[in-house]
Amino acid sequence: MGRRSVLALLMLWGCGGDEGRSLPADGGAADGGCRSAAQCDDGVACTRDLCTVDGTCAHVGDSAMCPGGMTCLPGRGCAPAGAVACTSTAQCDDRVECTRDACLVEGVCRSVTQDERCAAGQRCDAARGCVAGDVTPTRCRAPADCDDREACTDDVCGVDGRCAHVPQNARCGAGRRCIAGMGCIAERACASDRDCDDGMRCNGAERCSELACVAGATVACDDGVACTIDRCVEGSGEACTHTTDPSCAGTTVRSGVYDLEVAVTYACSAFGAPVVMFSFRQMQFVVTGSAMTVNGGPVSMTGNVPDATGRFRVSGTMAGDCNETYTLEGTFSTAARFTGSFSTSFMGFSCGLTDCAARAWAVAATAR
């Protein structure tokens, strides 16, 4: 028996003799189940609507009813081949970090590759994500060289000779917004913040506000050190990375023991008992990549290597009822000599019971 014969029997079996009775306003049978295929019409032209033997409606997509190459999505209708049905953008996440995913108002997902989400020297592959390849961009000389054929973007030629495409939502109709690489699209309204999550962390956490998705704040990775290259990286692990800028002249600071020209000495007490007491004339500098540690004082002090001007700052804290913080900052005039200041400060309730006070010393030192 062929498929059409089986379907015909199911329809006859489930639709015996009750077609003439009146139906509730919602199109279902009076007892909540269907009694004929007519009660199961979903309004989608490319689905076959059936009333099954257990009194429930079934909707079978038939892509043969769609124009060339399109797919029938139950509840949606004819859509491009390979389309995925959706009710929110969150359902369209293709797990590819460099694609922009959206749930269109037509109820189908759309994903577009965005090369700018990849690191330098990579391009976005829709299936594999950021991959190495022929990604050398054509350097532009004028905005005309950057035309992306999207009317809603401003095409800009940057000072570095690379194109940028800035979305202008005002050029799209009501309820639509401009997405670089997509043009004007209308996304389905959101119900929660989760519906708005685009799977990217560097552009911040998206949220749902008044049934519309609002972009998040870009993650700030600037560590305030001029000699590091700060980047936000998608994926697992820490979001921000800080690598040494090889152009920084100060990174050649020499590791080793430095002799201070004048010893640094200090003491303070509480009720006649010593609280802090130190005296030192040597410091050990340890440079590891972009980090620098200085030992020899009351505590170990850490920070970054000197910047391009030779300036540096390291600090360390000895925790307690009265926190002691020590800071060394200055400038390297050569890879083996610096001048600056060493300072101490005290903070905490019990500090008031001591005669300890903030103090600073001018220092100068040369590596052995």
Instruction: State how far the alpha carbon of 24 is from the alpha carbons of 33, 34, 53, 248, 311, in Å.
Output: 11, 11, 20, 79, 81
Confidence of residue 284 (pLDDT cuts 50, 70, 90): very high
User: What average pLDDT does range 242-261 have in this prediction?
Assistant: 75
> Picking from 116-125, 281-290, 310-319, which range would have the lowest pLDDT averaged per residue?
116-125
Identify which of 289, 292, 303 has the alpha carbon closest to the alpha carbon of residue 256: 292
- Rounded to the nearest angstrom, the gap between the alpha carbon of residue 18 and the centroid of all alpha carbons in its chain is 58
| Plot region of 147 (φ>0 → left; ψ -120 to 50 → alpha; else → beta) | beta
pLDDT above 90 (res 66): no
Residue 288 has what pLDDT? 86
Q: Judge whether 161 and 167 are in contact, CB under 8 Å.
A: no
> What is the token pair recorded at 170?
């005002």
pLDDT above 70 (res 233): yes
Residue 262 has what pLDDT? 95
Residue 135 has what pLDDT? 54
> What is the token pair recorded at 343?
């300072």
Of all residues in the chain, the percent with pLDDT exceeding 90 is 21
Residue 244 has what pLDDT? 67
Helical (H) or strand (E) element with 232? strand 228-232
Cβ atoms within 10 A of the Cβ of 355, count? 11
What is the chain's mean pLDDT, rounded?
80
Tally of residues, the chain? 368
Identify which of 101, 125, 113 has the alpha carbon closest to the alpha carbon of residue 185: 101
Give the integer Cα–Cα distance in Å for 91 and 84. 9
Helical (H) or strand (E) element with 13? helix 3-14
Domains and their CATH numbers in the chain: 3-79 (no CATH), 89-188 (no CATH), 250-367 (2.40.128)
Q: Judge whether 111 and 99 are in contact, CB under 8 Å.
A: yes
Half-sphere exposure of 133 toward its Cβ, with a 13 Å CA cutoff?
9
Q: Which carries the bigger pLDDT value, residue 77 or residue 245?
A: 77
Instruction: State how far the alpha carbon of 110 is from the alpha carbons of 80, 81, 89, 148, in Å.
Output: 10, 12, 9, 18
Q: What is the CA radius of gyration of the chain?
A: 34
> What is the token pair recorded at 48?
């076959």
User: What average pLDDT does range 42-58 have in this prediction?
Assistant: 86
Confidence of residue 224 (pLDDT cuts 50, 70, 90): confident
pLDDT above 90 (res 177): no
Residue 303 has what pLDDT? 93
Give the integer Cα–Cα distance in Å for 326 and 318. 8
Give the list of residues 6+ apart from residue 41 with CB closer than 8 angstroms, or none: 27, 49
> What is the token pair recorded at 120?
């330098």
pLDDT above 90 (res 366): yes
Instruction: State how far the alpha carbon of 338 is from the alpha carbons of 225, 264, 302, 359, 364, in Å.
Output: 18, 16, 16, 20, 6
Give the integer Cα–Cα distance in Å for 272 and 270. 5
Give the list of residues 6+ apart from residue 299 with CB closer than 8 angstroms, or none: 316, 317, 318, 324, 326
Look at the block and give the residue holding tokens 């909707």.
Answer: 59
Q: Which carries the bigger pLDDT value, residue 241 or residue 173?
A: 241
- Rounded to the nearest angstrom, the gap between the alpha carbon of residue 94 and the centroid of all alpha carbons in its chain is 15
Q: Judge whether 124 and 118 are in contact, CB under 8 Å.
A: yes
